[in-house]
């Protein structure tokens, strides 16, 4: 009974976290500030809150941290700054809804990156998902016809792809940092956000963009973005996803771009073309299939893993193919 209640609570808080994060691109669009300024403000406003939460978490449960973990968090912060900047550009060029869908290609980027960097063989479903995912990207960009939404859809798609690369690399670096010991999620998020703020501030100075002085309502939207998606949305997701089944976690991650699409249509008046909407559906289906969230039924006549002791080959498959299982050689994602 307690496990059931705990699972329901994790699911509800996970849904709340996904809902909060889904407002991120919409708030960026409402603020209507330069991409560099938005990146600096959304991280800068979040740092003091995260620092306070990190102190509270430390007092409740002090966890010593390896210096190497902190160093990798610095690298992750630089990548996070790049991902944030590219997301802001994509939102400005192609719209909040479609930009969020494209940015979710990071799911496939992580899988391909793990194959390349960590020699983790990707599942067959990932290779099957890549062609339809790329076709979906082309359809979203407006290259296949139709009245595409956005001021520059093609450049917006490129910015979204750059976001996926930066964000995928960020996730891989954070995963590597976990090898040097556990840390409070809020402490790691504080370090990453602080570095991202410093890098974003440098880009503001280099680009000469204005907007850092407090103004209304732009900075009000930035405060909501920092406190909602940037702080509490992230914390709800990162603390509750490990408590949920993998399929449920994947569905929550796919829920976020769908909510953003709906919010962008209702609040921002974005009306993607039919071709773009079909591309979004194709892209999200491919991402869900490649990530293992969408599972195709297997033929009834074919039996997989009849028993753990069928053969040495079967036993080897059973202990190496399931990430996160007790016998797995691969750490959980």
Q: Residue 267: its pLDDT value, please?
A: 92
Q: Residue 182: its pLDDT value, please?
A: 64
- Distance between CA atoms of 167 and 84, rounded to whole angstroms? 8
| Alpha carbon separation from 92 to 36, 87, 95, 96, 307 (Å, rounded) | 12, 9, 6, 8, 54
Q: Residue 49: its pLDDT value, please?
A: 95
What's the pTM value of the predicted model, to 2 decimals?
A: 0.78
Instruction: Residue 162: count other Cβ atoms within 10 Å of its Cβ.
Output: 18
Instruction: Residue 148: count other Cβ atoms within 10 Å of its Cβ.
Output: 24
Tens digit of pLDDT at every position of the chain (333 positions): 455 556 678 888 888 888 999 999 999 999 999 999 999 999 999 999 999 999 998 998 887 788 888 899 999 999 999 999 999 999 999 999 999 988 888 877 877 777 777 777 777 777 788 888 888 888 887 777 666 677 888 899 999 999 999 988 998 888 888 777 666 788 889 999 999 999 999 999 998 866 677 788 999 999 999 999 999 988 888 777 667 765 666 667 678 888 898 999 999 998 888 888 898 889 888 887 876 655 545 444 444 334 344 444 333 333 333 333 334 444 443
244, containing H or E segment: none
φ/ψ of residue 121, rounded to 5 = -65, 125
Q: Helices (DSSP H) in 145-272: which residue ranges? A: 153-177, 185-207, 218-225, 234-240, 246-267
Tokens 């990162």 label which residue? 238
Instruction: Residue 70: count other Cβ atoms within 10 Å of its Cβ.
Output: 15
């Amino acid at each position: 009974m307690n496990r059931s209640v705990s699972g329901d609570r994790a699911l509800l808080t996970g849904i709340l976290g996904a809902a909060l994060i889904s407002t991120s691109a919409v708030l960026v669009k409402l603020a209507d500030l330069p991409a560099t300024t938005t990146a600096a403000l959304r991280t800068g406003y979040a740092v003091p809150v995260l620092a306070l939460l990190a102190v509270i978490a430390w007092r409740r449960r002090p966890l010593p941290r390896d210096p190497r973990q902190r160093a990798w968090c610095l690298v992750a912060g630089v990548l996070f700054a790049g991902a944030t900047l590219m997301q802001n550009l994509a939102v400005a060029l192609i719209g909040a809804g479609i930009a969020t869908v494209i940015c979710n290609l990071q799911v496939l980027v992580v899988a391909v990156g793990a194959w390349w960097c960590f020699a983790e063989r990707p599942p067959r479903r990932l290779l099957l998902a890549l062609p339809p995912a790329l076709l979906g990207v082309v359809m979203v960009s407006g290259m296949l016809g139709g009245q595409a939404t956005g001021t520059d859809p093609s450049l917006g798609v490129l910015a979204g792809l750059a976001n996926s690369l930066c964000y995928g690399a960020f996730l891989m670096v954070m995963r590597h940092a976990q090898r040097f010991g556990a840390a409070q999620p809020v402490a790691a998020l504080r370090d990453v956000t602080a570095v991202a703020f410093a890098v974003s501030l440098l880009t503001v100075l280099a680009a000469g963009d204005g907007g850092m002085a407090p103004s209304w309502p732009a900075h009000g939207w930035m405060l909501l973005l920092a406190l909602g998606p940037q702080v509490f949305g992230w914390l709800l997701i990162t603390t509750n996803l490990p408590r949920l089944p993998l399929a449920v976690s994947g569905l929550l991650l796919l829920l976020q771009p769908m909510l953003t699409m709906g919010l962008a249509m209702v609040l921002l008046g974005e009306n993607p073309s039919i071709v773009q909407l079909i591309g979004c559906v194709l892209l999200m289906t491919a991402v869900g299939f490649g990530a293992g969230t969408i599972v195709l039924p297997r033929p009834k006549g074919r039996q997989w893993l009849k028993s753990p002791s069928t053969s040495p080959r079967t036993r080897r498959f059973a202990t190496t193919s399931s990430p996160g299982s007790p016998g797995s050689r691969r750490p959980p994602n």
